[in-house]
Amino acid sequence: MSPQEQAEAGPPTPVQSVWTRPRAGREQPALSRDQIVAEALRLLDSDGIDALSMRKLGTRLGAGATSLYRHVANKDELIELAIDEIYGEIEIPRSTDPANWRMDAAHCAQSLRATMLRHPWIASVLGEMGMSYLGPNAMRLAEFLLALFTRAGLPTTEADQAASTLVAYVTGMATSEAAYLNVLARSGHTEQQYVESLWPTAEQAAESYPHLREGYAEQRGKDPRTARDENFQYGLDRVLDGLETRTTH
């Protein structure tokens, strides 16, 4: 402000007043990897995968976009961290009674689905992230399922296959649901409204497919949300039925 300060700066260096010169001291809270991942998760959950850009994330943290790269190698790695963070939300029963294996597996499966549906953007990235299963939380889940099927009487190799089967079913189902929730969110309507507005298109597309038409008609009256829940439960029961034929209870 004072003329003296400006005079001190002198011509050699470009004029810098107190206002243009960066303020002394670092007043932003320091960035940390955890903080970055947490904010990325908030952004992803509220606005979806397309809304996540390094610049926007930086702004939210009161930082420049490229500052994030001091804590995270690149955007893909950031997403992998976010994915594993989510895996940490999955409830893992701590029962060890082999007799309960089916209940425990079901509980775990349901929690996995619920977690994915709480963060539907995950469906958009599961197919590109090859290494996400190396994260600590993903491994925790894998270890639990492996132990569970081992206790249920399966040899190591088969326990691994059984766990893969269960996880494949749940992620397959939840991925398709999450994709649907993603476009639903973009539409801005409630699920009821959205389904209603989709009927004409769907019925026209199914015109020449008799079984599909009948299937649509059957689902017409139901609440879509509970229908999804029931469909998931049905398939889960069948998968567990199939696995049960191989266990020694």
- Residue closer to a second copy, measured from CB, 39 or 84: 84
- Lay out the site mask for DNA across 69-108 (x = CB under 7 A, - = otherwise): xxx--xxx--------------------------------
- For the bound state, the minimum distance from the C-beta of residue 74 to DNA, rounded and expressed in Å, comes to 3
- 137 residue type, one letter: N
Binds 33: which of a second copy, DNA, none (CB < 5-8 Å by kind): none
Among 98, 175, 191, 229, the residue binding a second copy under the rule CB under 8 A is 175
Residue 200's binding partner out of DNA, a second copy, none, with CB under 5 to 8 Å set by partner kind: none
DSSP code string of 71-128: T-S-HHHHHHHHHHHHHTTS-------GGGHHHHHHHHHHHHHHHHHHSTTHHHHTTT
Tokens of 70: 């001091």
How many Å apart are CA 151 and CA 143, to the nearest integer? 12
Least distance from DNA to the Cβ atom of residue 28, Å: 5
In angstroms, the Cα distances linking 25 to 13, 66, 70 are 22, 20, 19
Separation CA 108–CA 96 (nearest Å): 14
Interacting residue ranges for a second copy, rule: CB under 8 A: 49, 122-131, 134, 136, 139-140, 142-143, 146-147, 150, 156-162, 164-165, 167-173, 175-176, 178-180, 182-184, 201-202, 205-206, 209-212, 214-215, 218-219, 230-231, 234-235, 237-243, 245-246
